[in-house]
Structure formats: structure tokens, C-alpha cells
A and B are shown apart, each in its own frame.
Chain A
Amino acid sequence: MDEVTGEVMGEVMVKAEQVWKSFGQLEVLKGIDLEVRNGEVVCVIGPSGSGKSTFLRCLNHLEKINAGRLWVNGQLMGYRQRGDKLHELREKEVAAQRRDIGMVFQRFNLFPHMTALENVVEAPIRVKRQAKASAMERGRELLTRVGLGDRCDSYPSQLSGGQQQRVAIARALAMEPKLMLFDEPTSALDPELVGEVLGVMRELALDGMTMVVVTHEMGFAREVADRVVFMDGGVVVEEGPPSQVIGDPKHERTRAFLSRVLRPED
């Protein structure tokens, strides 16, 4: 599709250049610059309203950005550049770009009228046109991998929140994405169910998946992230290894935020 900008892009999964986004009068993102390299796990933290979820949704073009450029896997998201003019991509082309990007939502968004296995195989069969039998086999494997091999035929309403979120992760993985986006994946869960979801995500990170995780789980960020990005007021305030951003923040706003969210066990 679109030409890769320079040889650097081979190493880089996500590249954001001066990304701006506003909803009407409200400016939510004010010039985000960020790079995520292949295999890297980046945790985005920050107070609510800081724009971190919006930025994540821009990454797979669920939101259109107003200014700047955004590349994922070497492709300019949502547009085609000809000379210095940008052309909007057609719906099918946007859909094709999204196939390589898995997304996990705060509220799971499983399809309630399908069983766990049907949820997982829907996109491989309909979008990737995989044969039904092999897609089902692979679906079972994925559900087993997230610890739900025995719940293939359960409907989402018969599963706990933690189980639903693990099905949602398996559903995203079924498309064999090169990048996984997590939008506060444990915020809607009862406290005792958070661990099982973080466990699956931790294993995914160990397997080398490139991940961008918006989260309030500081313990997870500190342990799993290669890099932590602190956002506030629509800008990246501070970024670096977790030991630095969470352990020894330089910026006053980061310190103020962390003092509000850090619990003793983190």
C-alpha cells in the first residue's frame, strides 16, 4: 500500500507526529509525538480526560485526527498521501488497515448473540475468509491459551467479567495482529478478577507482542512495560522506563498524579 517512510519504519510499529484531535471546541490531543518499536510494551497512564483513550482510538482510526500524521506498521492510518495532498481512504481500505491491529475495550464489547467460540472465529471467517473448520480449531486453541478451553460454547452473559475480557483478547488475537491496543482493559472488572486478565496480558507481552496499554494498573505498568508514557491535558508530559516515570518522576504533574493513584503494594 503506502510507501514506508525511510528505513527506520521497519523497526517502528507506531509513529505519531504532532497528532491533534478535537471534539467540536474541545481540544483533546494537542500535538502527540510517540514511537513504539516492534515487540515493545508501552503503558499509557494519566488522569481521566487526559486524552489517552482518544489517542489509542486514533491509532486504529476509530477517531479521525485533525492534524499531524500517524503511521502504524508503515502505513499512514486513514489517508493516502499524493504529493502534499491527503486523500481519505475508502471504507474497505480502512478496514484492511485495521486487520493488523487488535483492540480490547474497557467494556469488552463481545457480541452477546454469539458463543465465546463464535465471537473468536467471526472475523477470521468473515474478514480473512478462512475455512470454517480451521478457524474453529484455531479459535479453540486461543480460548485454551487464555484459560477458557472449557467455555467455548458459553454465551458472554454466562461468563464473568474477567472471562469475558479474556474472550475479547482471544477474539483480537484470532486476527493475528501485529499490534494490540488495550483501552483500560481491567477498569470495568471486580477487583478479584483483574489478576486473571493482567496474567493473560503479561504472557502476551512475554511472547513478544507489540502492545499499547492504557491502564490505571501501576503494578502492571511497572512490571511489564518497557516504557511508560504519562499524558495530561492532551500532551505527553513525560516518558521513559517504568523505574524512571513511576519510580522517580521528573515532572511535578507526574508526581501529583502518582501520589493520587499509587497504592502501597505498587
Chain B
Amino acid sequence: MTEKQGNRPGLIRAVPVRHPGRWVAAAVIVVLAAMLVNNIVTNTAYNWAEQWKYFLSPPVLNGVRNTIWLTLVAMVGGVLFGIVLALMRLSPNPLMRGASWLYLWVFRGTPLYTQLLIWGNIGALFPKLGLGIPFGPEFVTAQTNALYSAAMAAALGLVLNEAAYMAEIIRAGILSVDPGQNEASQALGMTRMQTMRRVVLPQAMRVIVPPTGNEAISMLKNTSLVAAVPYLELTFTAQTIYASTYQVIPMLVMVCIWYLILSSLMMVGQYYLERHYARGSQQSRMGLRARMSRIGGAP
């Protein structure tokens, strides 16, 4: 060992490769950023004072609350119903598979905005709702519009649409789990439900959580479409404000800031969720920074 160290050659001091392209790109970005900052500071059309005046005002806070509420309900409902649809798609029963496929075909094949318009006007299709025997007598009936609020229409529309997308994400997650896991659980005497809940789904979650985070952030923004119902969430609230103040751009920029705050909070939540479900995997021992850069999305 010592002999070798005695003969050790001198450290390499090579001239590094130059990257003139990087300097050009950096210069372009700096100029563009300066232009943007200059615009934000000097352009009075942003009307920052007006934005601040409304930022924490009761109608805007109400809109924020409704947006959060809708996102939560739509995602929780979408995941739960999505699990049912995914299990139906993986079922040995062809009728279950077919029904699930048909559902996905309809709800993924039509625009969300159109679906929400329909849910907002469902009273025209079913003026009365009743409980009874199919094709037989009804025991209770009620006017649809008396039972059904704009909030319900908005939530229902988002849940039913989201379930179709979540079903595919969950199905992919379940299929990603090694079939040997199923056999090992069965050999231990676990039932199919126990196997799904204790063994397969927790492992499928590693595959399910990242795209579900994407879905949740999409959902946060898609709630703005329930203006079709119509329902007073964040964007629709801003629209009603600028309809009377004519401060269009300040209100829309303010709404963007709110959406950015909410989506940032969701990214933090996603980080902890991913870490939880990475238990036992190699990645769970990766550093925080490497994980955060992954959550940041496609490089």
C-alpha cells in the first residue's frame, strides 16, 4: 500500500470544457426576468392595492373555502369510487368488467365542463326522484330541485368524473404488485379482502400516490369549471367581483396567487404521503432534496 502511494501520479489539472451556449441562455433568462420584474413593478394595471383589498375579503375567503371543500370531496369520493371501479375491472365476472369499462368510456370520453352543465340541469331530465321497486311502485318521491343543491351538483359531477381517471391509476397500481405477494398471503390463510387491504393496496400505493397527487392538483384547478353549475368557488367569485369593479386582471392575478398557495400546500402533503408509502423500499433512504425534486414533476 505505502509503495503504491509513493508512486502515486500527480492530480489531473485539465482545462475544463467551455460551455458558451450556457452563458447565452443564462443572459437571455436574466433579461426576460428583468423585463418581467420591471413590468410587475411599473405596470399600474396590476393594481396590487386592489388585489390586497380583496385578498382576505369575506367573499374571496368563502370562494377559497368552497374550492378546498370541493377538491377534498371530489378527490376522496373519486378515490373511493375509483377503487370500486378498479376492482370491478379486475374482477373475474365479465359483467362487472363490462360495466366498469362502459362507465370509463362515457366519463372519460366526454368533457368535464359538459358533464358539469348536465349535473347542474339534471332537474330537467329527472324532475322527480323516488324510492321504490324498479319498474314497480314508488314509495317516496320528491322534487329533484328541492333535494339537490348547486354544491351537490358540483361535487357529484367532479366525483363521478374523477373516479373514472382514478380507476385506471388504481388498477395500474394493483397490477404493479408482484403476484407472488398474493400467493404468499393466500398460503398464510388470508382471505382475498385481507390480502387486498393489508398486502396489495399498501404496495400499490407507491405507484398510485404520485399520479394521484397530479390528479389532486388538477382537481384544485378543475373546480373552477363548476362555474358551469353554477357554484361560487374561487374563480367564479372573482368573476362576480370584477363584474362590478371592472378590475379584471387584478382579480385574476389574485386568484392565481391563491391557487399557487393551495397547490404548494398539497405538494408538501404529497411529499409526506409518498414517504409514508415508501416504507421498506430503497427510495425511502434517499435524501429529502432528491425526493422534492421528483415531486416537482417532470424535469
Contacts and interface: CB of A to CB of B under 8 A. Distances in A.
Interface of A: 60, 62, 91-92, 95-96, 98-99, 101-103, 105, 107, 109-115, 122-123, 126-127, 155-157, 168, 171-172, 175
Contact of B187 (A60, A92, A157): A60
Interface of B: 178, 180-181, 183-184, 186-192, 194, 198-199, 202-203, 277, 279-282
B188 A98 contact: yes
A103 B187 contact: yes
Nearest to B205: A113
B188 A175 contact: yes
B192 A101 contact: no
A95 B191 contact: yes
B181 A92 contact: no
Contacts of A110: 184
Contacts of A113: 202-203, 277, 279-281
Contacts of A157: 280-282
Contacts of A105: 180, 183-184
A103 B194 CA distance: 18
B34 to A, nearest CB: 49
A127 B188 contact: yes
B198 A126 contact: yes
B198 A122 contact: yes
B194 A127 contact: yes
A109 B190 contact: no
10 contacts: A60-B187, A62-B186, A91-B191, A102-B187, A103-B184, A105-B184, A111-B199, A112-B281, A115-B280, A172-B188
Contacts of A175: 188-189
Contact of B280 (A99, A107, A126, A155): A155
B280 A127 contact: no
Given A109-B180, A122-B188, 18 more contacts: A60-B187, A91-B192, A98-B186, A99-B188, A103-B187, A105-B184, A109-B184, A112-B280, A114-B280, A115-B280, A126-B194, A127-B188, A127-B194, A155-B280, A156-B280, A157-B280, A175-B188, A175-B189
A126 to B, nearest CB: 6
A96 B189 contact: yes
Contacts of B279: 113, 155
Contacts of A102: 187
B188 A111 contact: no
Interface centre among B183, B184, B186 (most CB of A within 10 A): B184
Residue among B181, B183, B186, B188 with the highest chain A CB neighbour number at 10 A: B188
Contacts of A101: 187
Contacts of B186: 62, 95, 98
Nearest to B193: A91
A101 B186 CA distance: 11
B184 A99 contact: no
Contacts of B192: 91
B56 to A, nearest CB: 43
A88 to B, nearest CB: 14
Contact of A109 (B181, B198, B280): B181
Contacts of B178: 109
Contact of A62 (B187, B189, B194): B187
Nearest to B194: A126
A236 B268 CA distance: 61
B281 to A, nearest CB: 6
A263 to B, nearest CB: 29
Contact of B183 (A62, A95, A155): A62
A137 to B, nearest CB: 19
Nearest to A171: B188
A26 B195 CA distance: 30
A122 B194 CA distance: 11
B117 to A, nearest CB: 43
A111 B187 contact: no
A112 B281 CA distance: 7
A46 B276 CA distance: 44
Given A113-B280, A157-B280, A157-B282, A95 B203 contact: no
A212 to B, nearest CB: 13
A110 B188 CA distance: 12
Nearest to A110: B184
A123 B199 CA distance: 11
A123 B190 CA distance: 7
Contacts of A95: 186, 189-191
A111 B279 CA distance: 11
A113 B279 CA distance: 5
Contacts of A103: 184, 187
B203 A127 contact: no
B206 to A, nearest CB: 8
Nearest to B279: A113
A107 B180 contact: yes
A36 B114 CA distance: 67
Given A111-B181, A156-B280, A127 B187 contact: no
